[in-house]
Structure 1
Amino acid sequence: MSKGGASVPDEEWERFLRESEAGSPGAPEEPSARARMVTRRLREEPEPPRGWRTHQPPRSRRGRGWYAVGLVVVVVLLVAVAVAPGRIAGWFDGGDAVDTLPLAGESARPDGPPAQEADGPLPTPDEPFAGSPAARWADGAAGIHLPAPRATGWMSEAEVGTALNRTRDFLTASSLDPAVLRGERPTKAMALINPHQADVQDYLKRAFRAPDRENDPLLLFSRFRSAEVRPVGDVVKTRGRVTFREGEKGAVEVSTDVTYVYPVVRASGDDEVARTIVRREVVMSWDDPARIVIEPGTFSLVSYKVDTTNGGCDTYTGYLTPAFLADRTTAADGGDGPAVDPYDRSTPIEERMREGDGEGCGIATRS
């Protein structure tokens, strides 16, 4: 054998082979391509935790009048994690290093929650997503995966593509618009909702006039009271997907499932960063105007569910109300439900709620 033109004696080569087979003490191991692939797969698809569940029974608000599909509204509220975020010992990916590579878009429901760090870093104004799975998520609308369009129901392939883009426009206008996050009315988002869907229009009027348990704007929109908190930077991390199928009367029924992570600080100027995590499942129907009373370019709401962590528990002010470190002990003491991982997207919200029992607020394992 030779390397760089220099000959290696046979006895040296044989000794090298023996030591290589036995393994040299302290030598780093280079995993094979297959090992690296398996390691990465296990890192991205860890085994889900056992026994966590939500607890608050669903509440529903059914449609009335001309629209055939019942309007279902479900809410899950979780109190802030009782310990500092990123400090929970949990599920590991088999190594000490944490993968920081951006995740590919979520085209299907994951098999389990993302891995938890032990002694992860705390969020700061410069690194507001530190110690969180959201650090690997995409920014804003880029984290909402759209499928390839195909002709469905009354719509051509191009029309389905337009409906999917407008669906993402609604999600952006309702949950990512900086003005809406500051507490302003989500006029752009509401303009995309069928004005002839009477029960939904009634809900919207009540929600912004006098929010309560049944008429809470947070069911569809993310809003903070600007006098109390302000966003950290201009990035909201998101992860989610959009799917579609043919619905009733040839409509194109679009289902969305997106988690939003909002880092905020107190408006008073404190540098402590808190994160509010909101997951929404919204189903909308892009109806055929020849068969349903609807304005062109708008959709009818079929159902919407929300799961909120560190956004307030059993408070109906119309605004997300995150708790900071000084508030968390009290907030956690008020939670009597089981532990819940707000980053676990492997279970639908409604199924997670069915697994729970009792009243009150659950405890988030991390923020």
Structure 2
Amino acid sequence: MGKGGESIPDEEWERFLREAEAGVEGAPEEPSARARMVARRLREESGRPEPWRGHPPARRQRGKGWYAFGLLVAAALLVVALDPGLVAGWFGGGGGDGGSAPLAVESKRPDQPPPTEAAARRPTVGQPFRGSPAAQWGDGTAGIGLPEARATGWMDKGQVAQALEKSRDFLVASSLDPGVLRGERPRKAIALINPHQRDVQDYLATAFRAPSRENDPVLLFSRFDRTKVRLVGDVVKTRGRITYREGKRGAVEVTTDVTYVYPAVRAAAGSDEVVRTIVRREVVMSWDDPAKVITEPGTFSLVSYKADTTNGGCATPTGYFTPEFGPERAASHPADGAEVDPYDRSKSMETRMREAGGAGCGTATRS
């Protein structure tokens, strides 16, 4: 604007722009009041401003952009049609490995099983938990909830905290240790069990020497025969929690209820068919007062143990999990047990075992 609010004539403004661009001697170095007004207006406007006195791009040029965008939309729709689970994974809702945010650690028993994917996706060597709720579970001990310690029974807060940590150590040594998973004897886990508990020591001696349904090491330890099976990668997915209360004679009774998911392939080189063995195991441990129970420092007495296994073998016990693959899996149709969802943690182990109907082999609704 000029003095008095009058506008600068258009021909004067255009002459100023030509001279400024050409570097004509005597051209003003500072923009006129009108230039400053336009610059300020452009700065204050939101979005992408069009240049003052500019022209919209040619319609044909804009049409090329929309044509390219249309191709992208068409390609995306094709991907949705071919693999809906992949697109769900892009937005954090799928079951592919790393495609969804990990779940918070379980702090109490859920009230329902995890949802089933609309289109199940088969696991691969690169994504062994693909198509499974376990894709969102924690890795190893990260998926096992550990409660806050408080003074209980004969233990003060610090001692309870130590007992909880050692209870988790037992889970690692029995169900997550790489050597034990390859079939080695679980020496570290056994060392945590009260050596004066005679019935348990008899079970351990018999289970590894002559496995049977009553004395099977996989009831308490996760082991695979490495001559037949190898695990995929070094991650075992877990979900569960540890709880505790005051037990008999003032002991601290710790209950661990954890589901483990083990992806495996045949041991033969080049095998790429991935199956999963899923084990839910409940172990109750008693950290006894040494003034009342004969025990050794740093060991617990085994109160009880329960295990429910999917695709771990249902023939004569061998002391190892024996997952089935391909045709042998398709030919296996056990009819003496109930259908079970191995990912359903909404029921207690007692209820699960009661509904399973004893020692018969059931059918898993998913893997």
Correspondence 1:213 to 2:209: no
Q: Secondary structure at 1:355's aligned position in 2?
A: helix
Work out the CA distance in 2 between the residues paired with 1:144 and 1:176: 12
Contact 1:149/1:160 (8 A) holds in 2:
yes
The CA deviation at 1:163 is: 0.3
The CA deviation at 1:118 is: 2.2
Amino acid at match of 1:276: T
Instruction: Give the 3 Å change call, closer, same or farther, for CA 251–4 of structure 1 in structure 2.
Output: farther
- Residue 346 (structure 1) aligns with: 346
Contact 1:182/1:226 (8 A) holds in 2:
yes
- Residue 248 (structure 2) aligns with: 248
Work out the CA distance in 2 between the residues paired with 1:163 and 1:198: 22
Contact 1:206/1:215 (8 A) holds in 2:
yes
- Residue 317 (structure 1) aligns with: 318
Q: Secondary structure at 1:255's aligned position in 2?
A: strand
Contact 2:92/2:101 (8 A) holds in 1:
no
What runs of 5+ residues in structure 2 fail to find an aligned partner?
1-40, 47-82, 84-90
Instruction: Give the 3 Å change call, closer, same or farther, for CA 228–359 of structure 1 in structure 2.
Output: closer
Correspondence 1:154 to 2:150: no
Work out the CA distance in 2 between the residues paired with 1:325 and 1:172: 30
- Residue 59 (structure 1) aligns with: none
Contact 2:340/2:356 (8 A) holds in 1:
no
Q: Secondary structure at 1:103's aligned position in 2?
A: coil
The CA deviation at 1:337 is: 2.8
Deviation per residue, 1:61-89 (Å, 9 max, x gap): xxxxxxxxxxxxxxxxxxxxxxxxxx9xx
Work out the CA distance in 1 between the residues paired with 2:359 and 2:290: 42
Higher helix share: 2
1:105-184 mapped onto 2 (5 Å cutoff): 105-184=105-184
Deviation per residue, 1:331-353 (Å, 9 max, x gap): 1x233433210000110122123
- Residue 74 (structure 2) aligns with: none
- Residue 104 (structure 1) aligns with: 104
User: How large is the RMSD of aligned CA atoms in angstroms?
Assistant: 2.4
Count of aligned pairs? 282
Instruction: Give the 3 Å change call, closer, same or farther, for CA 190–260 of structure 1 in structure 2.
Output: same
Contact 2:223/2:321 (8 A) holds in 1:
yes
Work out the CA distance in 2 between the residues paired with 1:206 and 1:253: 26
Amino acid at match of 1:310: N
1:1-367 mapped onto 2 (5 Å cutoff): 5=44, 97-98=93-94, 100-269=100-269, 270-331=271-332, 333-357=333-357, 360-367=360-367
The CA deviation at 1:6 is: 5.4
* Greater C-alpha radius of gyration: 2
Q: Secondary structure at 2:170's aligned position in 1?
A: helix
The CA deviation at 1:110 is: 0.6
Amino acid at match of 2:129: F
Work out the CA distance in 1 between the residues paired with 2:92 and 2:149: 41
The CA deviation at 1:97 is: 4.3
Amino acid at match of 1:137: W
Instruction: Give the 3 Å change call, closer, same or farther, for CA 357–152 of structure 1 in structure 2.
Output: closer
Work out the CA distance in 1 between the residues paired with 2:156 and 2:358: 47
Contact 2:356/2:362 (8 A) holds in 1:
no
Work out the CA distance in 1 between the residues paired with 2:244 and 2:212: 31
Work out the CA distance in 2 between the residues paired with 1:129 and 1:328: 19
Q: Secondary structure at 2:331's aligned position in 1?
A: helix
Work out the CA distance in 2 between the residues paired with 1:233 and 1:357: 34
User: Percent identity of the aligned residues?
Assistant: 67
Instruction: Give the 3 Å change call, closer, same or farther, for CA 115–202 of structure 1 in structure 2.
Output: same
What is the TM-score of this pair, normalised by structure 2? 0.73
The CA deviation at 1:161 is: 0.3
Contact 2:334/2:363 (8 A) holds in 1:
no
Contact 1:155/1:252 (8 A) holds in 2:
yes
The CA deviation at 1:360 is: 3.2
Moved over 4 A (4+): 2-7, 356-359
Deviation per residue, 1:283-339 (Å, 9 max, x gap): 0000000100000100000000000000011431100000112221111x2334332
- Residue 72 (structure 1) aligns with: none
Instruction: Give the 3 Å change call, closer, same or farther, for CA 169–3 of structure 1 in structure 2.
Output: farther
The CA deviation at 1:3 is: 12
Work out the CA distance in 1 between the residues paired with 2:179 and 2:321: 14
Contact 2:334/2:362 (8 A) holds in 1:
no
Amino acid at match of 1:220: L
- Residue 77 (structure 1) aligns with: none
Contact 1:211/1:317 (8 A) holds in 2:
yes
What runs of 5+ residues in structure 1 fail to find an aligned partner?
8-86, 88-94
